[in-house]
């Protein structure tokens, strides 16, 4: 080997290589069954895996099985010891195998040392697993890829006194006692599944049991397993599960298929939850709730996540992904389904607004950053980096656009055909679109570009009204800017849901009995003509956010106020208010940079005054109308981002609103501060939401009155929502009582990690110049655990994501702080590190000084000799901008 060849090999080995969708090839082997036996011990868990393997390729090729952090103790083929294999860095290569054989692999693993929380690990005193995306290879050597589906049986053996509950996928078929105080439980999952859906849990829990009778009359046992002492916090999760099962039968005609459905809550978990077949493992924050420890948003979040994981039973489990590039096949579709579930059970407009806030504040930035990718990516280095807002949230928007184009009836016909065609298979996004197209008769060939094109489309809208012919024209031009991974962009099929308002604010009929119309924008430039329009209308564009785009139309203030007051679509009302706020935010940034005075006109104040005093609008919608663009979202309004100016202008505008409407905020607070017994129902949630929003605005300009209200509310409240609402106001206004009420909360709740996460978020988001030194001191707090992903997200993640101005301090201290934590996490939990790094890599529109500082920290990471591939991918792509 030449010196050059040696160097190339060294570089290839050091620098992870991208995997490409175009390189997909079916496996040369398949596995029809796998029988697992786990003998659980903290340091030396023994795993026996017996698989029935078939070669499907015509040529005799070696069998490669993935494996990581495993100790191989024996390997047998058809019951005979087999030695013709090589252990390699990421698995094992087995040579000279017959066409069909039984493979037995025995391994040992160390769950206690597994701080990555992938594969089998200890969460507190319990064993649990996380196998998506590629965690099963930390359990045994296996074809750990989603297109290999096998029927799993699992026998779990453990100390009975320590681990009385031994759980796995499917239905329980056997149990019994063994010698030395040990026992076993056996499970069989009758449905073929990929290894990423495998799950195992062993521990001692409190259990809430219930049942659900399916529409065909099958009685399904339901069980929630939680840490001892938390049984009183499980009822809402169980109610949410039963609602999910009923809703999926009624809306999608999908029925549960096993005899038991189990949910286990664990404290140490990298994700929100995992849909393992029949045994969902959840981050405890999405299971545990009672009025004293959980907020209204916690209740709603639990309902949504419980629903999401249950809905995966069909859209993800029974039909799964052929490869990880197809991740949005299951996640985008299931996010759409959980959003529809929440909307059907609660307020459709409020849920829609929350979803769009996430897109505008975070996903749009991802689309414009170094990790920009289509919802079906073309390449990746680390599969865990696929779990993005683009794949999930934008993926659900693509499904929603299909629903908009097809309508509910044809969409459901498409879903039925999809299930009939592909049940028990691993398929692609193209397969899903084909089912929708075949069932509906709607041509989706152009629409499929949404799956392969990255970036957020921009739509520029102009109009023309001809009073003589009484015709109104809307002209749309679409453009998608080049992104990190794609330079050339093509026109997309964009559904534009519109409503036209006349001079009196009434909706104009656009078809018999219909006041809205969905336009199909399919060209780079396209004009639509409306006839018999007697006066110049005000267009409500992209009703319900009918497409994930940025759109521009030169609205006057009066037109925006008309939409805020009269649009039949409540999302459009909210969106008009956001547009009005953003319009003056942009103008004031320009004024500030020009040395001119910042202003907010009276028409602006009067418009929001009319919203605040409305007796017809839902209080939750009123609250959303006053929840304006975050600093992160505001950055998406500018080609060049001025961090300091955005912070100053946004603060000025919020203070102006607080000052001008002070008396109304006080009145609103007092009127909605009358609730007695806590109920997490939709009406009471809306009233608490508006009351606490009003309190936050009072805290901005009247510290004495706010201080009084905060202390009184904390003293008298009977629920966590109002307690956190008061703390949030104290935090926003840096009120005199802040230190006392924060310490009192700490003293009361320091032993409850999930509650303290809320406290850490407040500390991290404190609008104070010394917040960073305060955060660093909290690493020594009695409730903080650097090894717990929830604690890290609540303190480190909240600072970097929500305290944007101070994270981007021009001295670079925020960047250095985050990088220091990433270095610690690099070898311990790179998956969490990869999630936390996001604010450090989205710098392409910042000023030169900040870009230089951020790149310096990224280079510090790149210099690490053992930089994990999760971080390496993001760091190198960011530095390549």
Rounded CA gap, 659 and 652, in Å?
10
C-alpha distances in Å from residue 372, one per residue of 446, 449, 630: 21, 15, 21
Rounded CA gap, 240 and 808, in Å?
40
Token code pair at residue 581:
């706020």
Phi-psi region of 797 (alpha: psi -120 to 50; beta: other; left: phi over 0): alpha
CB atoms within 10 A of CB 512: 5
| Cβ 804 vs Cβ 629: under 8 Å | no
Neighbouring residues of 421: CB distance < 8 A, sequence distance ≥ 6: 431, 435
Token code pair at residue 594:
């020009």
Our CA angle for 842, 339, 401, nearest 5°, is 75
Rounded CA gap, 647 and 613, in Å?
28
Helix (H) or strand (E) holding 161: none
In sequence order, what are the beta bridge partners of 107? 47, 72
Neighbouring residues of 556: CB distance < 8 A, sequence distance ≥ 6: none
Helix (H) or strand (E) holding 849: helix 848-862
User: Is 309 designated active site?
Assistant: yes
Q: Where are the beta strands (DSSP E) in 399-502?
A: 426-427, 458-466, 471-479, 494-501
Half-sphere exposure of 21 (CA within 13 A, CB side): 18
C-alpha distances in Å from residue 342, one per residue of 91, 234, 337, 353, 840: 43, 19, 9, 12, 33
DSSP string, 172-225: EEEEEE-GGGEEEEEEE--S-B-GGG--EEEE--EEEEEEEE-TTS-EEEEEEE
Rounded CA gap, 447 and 456, in Å?
15
Q: SS3 string of 232-252?
A: HHCHHHHHHHHHHHHHHHHHH
Token code pair at residue 771:
């917040």
Token code pair at residue 752:
């409850």
**Does residue 133 have a cis bond before it (omega within 30 degrees)?**
yes
CB atoms within 10 A of CB 373: 24
Phi-psi region of 276 (alpha: psi -120 to 50; beta: other; left: phi over 0): beta
Q: Which of 104, 132, 309, 397 is catalytic?
A: 309
Q: Is 697 helix (H, G, I), strand (E, B) or coil?
A: helix
Catalytic residues, by residue number, are 309
């Amino acid at each position: 080997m030449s010196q050059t060849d040696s160097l190339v090999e060294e570089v290839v080995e050091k620098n992870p290589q991208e995997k490409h969708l175009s390189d997909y090839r079916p496996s040369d082997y398949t596995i029809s069954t796998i029988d697992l036996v786990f003998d659980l011990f903290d340091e030396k868990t023994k795993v026996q895996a017996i698989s029935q393997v078939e070669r499907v390729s015509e040529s005799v090729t070696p069998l490669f099985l993935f494996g990581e952090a495993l100790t191989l103790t024996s390997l047998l083929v058809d019951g005979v010891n087999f030695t013709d294999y090589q252990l390699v860095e990421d698995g094992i290569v087995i040579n000279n195998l017959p066409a069909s054989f039984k493979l037995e692999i025995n391994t040992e693993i160390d769950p206690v040392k597994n701080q990555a929380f992938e594969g089998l690990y200890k969460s507190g005193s319990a064993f649990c697993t996380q196998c998506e995306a590629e965690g099963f290879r930390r359990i045994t050597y296996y074809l750990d890829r989603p297109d290999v589906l096998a029927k799993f049986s699992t026998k779990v053996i453990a100390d009975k006194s320590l681990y009385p509950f031994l759980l796995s996928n499917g239905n329980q078929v056997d149990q019994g006692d063994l010698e030395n105080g040990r026992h076993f439980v056996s499970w069989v999952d009758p449905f073929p599944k990929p290894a990423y859906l495998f799950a195992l849990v062993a521990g001692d829990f409190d259990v809430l049991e219930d049942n659900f009778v399916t529409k065909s009359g099958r009685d399904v046992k339901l069980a929630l397993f939680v840490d001892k002492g938390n049984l009183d916090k499980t009822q809402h999760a169980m109610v949410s599960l039963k609602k999910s099962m009923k809703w999926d039968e009624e809306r999608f005609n999908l029925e549960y298929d096993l005899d038991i459905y189990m949910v286990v809550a664990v404290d140490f978990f990298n994700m929100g939850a995992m849909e393992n077949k029949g045994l969902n493992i959840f981050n405890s924050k999405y299971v545990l709730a009672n009025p004293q420890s959980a907020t209204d948003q916690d209740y709603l979040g639990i309902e949504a996540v419980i629903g999401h994981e249950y809905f995966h039973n069909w859209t993800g489990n029974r039909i799964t992904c052929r490869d990880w590039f197809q991740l949005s096949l299951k996640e985008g579709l299931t996010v759409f389904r959980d959003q529809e579930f929440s909307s059907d059970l609660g307020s459709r407009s409020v849920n829609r607004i929350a979803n769009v806030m996430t897109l505008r504040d975070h996903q749009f930035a991802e689309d414009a950053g170094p990790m920009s990718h289509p919802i079906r990516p073309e390449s990746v280095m680390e599969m865990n980096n696929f779990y993005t807002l683009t794949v999930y949230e934008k993926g659900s928007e693509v499904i929603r656009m299909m629903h908009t184009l097809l309508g509910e009836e044809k969409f459901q016909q498409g879903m039925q055909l999809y299930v009939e065609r592909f049940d028990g298979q691993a398929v692609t996004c193209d397969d899903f679109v084909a089912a929708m197209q075949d069932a509906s008769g709607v041509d989706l060939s152009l629409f499929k570009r949404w799956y392969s094109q990255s970036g957020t489309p921009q739509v520029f809208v102009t109009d023309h009204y001809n009073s003589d012919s009484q015709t109104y024209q809307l002209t749309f031009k679409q453009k998608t800017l080049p992104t990190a991974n794609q330079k050339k962009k093509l026109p997309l099929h964009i559904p534009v849901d519109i409503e036209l308002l006349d001079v009196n604010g009434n909706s104009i009929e656009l078809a018999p009995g219909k006041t809205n119309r969905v336009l199909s924008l399919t060209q780079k430039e396209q004009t639509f003509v409306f006839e018999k329009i007697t006066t110049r209308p005000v267009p409500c564009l992209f009703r319900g956010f009918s497409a994930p785009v940025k759109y521009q139309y030169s609205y006057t203030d009066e037109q925006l106020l008309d939409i805020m007051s009269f649009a039949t679509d409540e999302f459009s009302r909210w969106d008009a208010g956001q547009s009005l706020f953003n319009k003056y935010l942009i103008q004031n940034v320009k004024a500030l940079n020009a040395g001119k005075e910042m202003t907010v006109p009276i028409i602006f104040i009067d418009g929001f005054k009319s919203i605040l005093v409305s007796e017809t609008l839902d209080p939750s919608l009123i609250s959303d109308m006053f929840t304006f663009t975050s600093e992160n979202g505001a950055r998406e309004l500018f080609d060049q981002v001025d961090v300091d100016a955005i912070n100053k202008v946004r603060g000025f505008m919020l203070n102006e609103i607080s000052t001008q409407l002070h008396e109304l905020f006080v009145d609103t607070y007092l009127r909605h501060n009358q609730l007695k017994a806590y109920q997490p129902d939709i009406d009471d949630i809306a009233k608490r939401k508006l009351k606490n929003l009003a309190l936050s605005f009072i805290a901005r300009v009247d510290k004495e009155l706010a201080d009084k209200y905060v202390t009184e509310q904390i003293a008298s409240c009977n629920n966590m929502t109002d307690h956190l609402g008061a703390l949030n106001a104290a935090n926003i206004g840096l009120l005199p009582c802040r230190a006392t009420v924060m310490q009192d909360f700490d003293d009361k709740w320091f032993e409850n990690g999930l509650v303290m996460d809320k406290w850490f978020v407040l500390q991290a988001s404190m609008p104070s110049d010394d917040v960073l030194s305060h955060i660093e001191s909290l690493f020594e707090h009695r409730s903080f655990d650097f090894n717990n992903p929830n604690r890290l997200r609540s303190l480190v993640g909240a600072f970097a994501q929500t305290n944007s101005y101070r994270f981007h301090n021009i001295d670079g201290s925020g960047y250095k702080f985050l990088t220091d934590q990433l270095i610690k996490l690099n070898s311990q939990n790179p998956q969490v590190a990869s999630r936390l790094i996001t604010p450090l890599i989205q710098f392409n529109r910042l000023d030169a000084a900040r870009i230089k500082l951020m790149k310096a920290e990224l280079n510090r990471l790149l210099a690490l000799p053992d930089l994990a591939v999760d971080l390496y991918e993001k760091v190198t792509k960011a530095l390549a901008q």
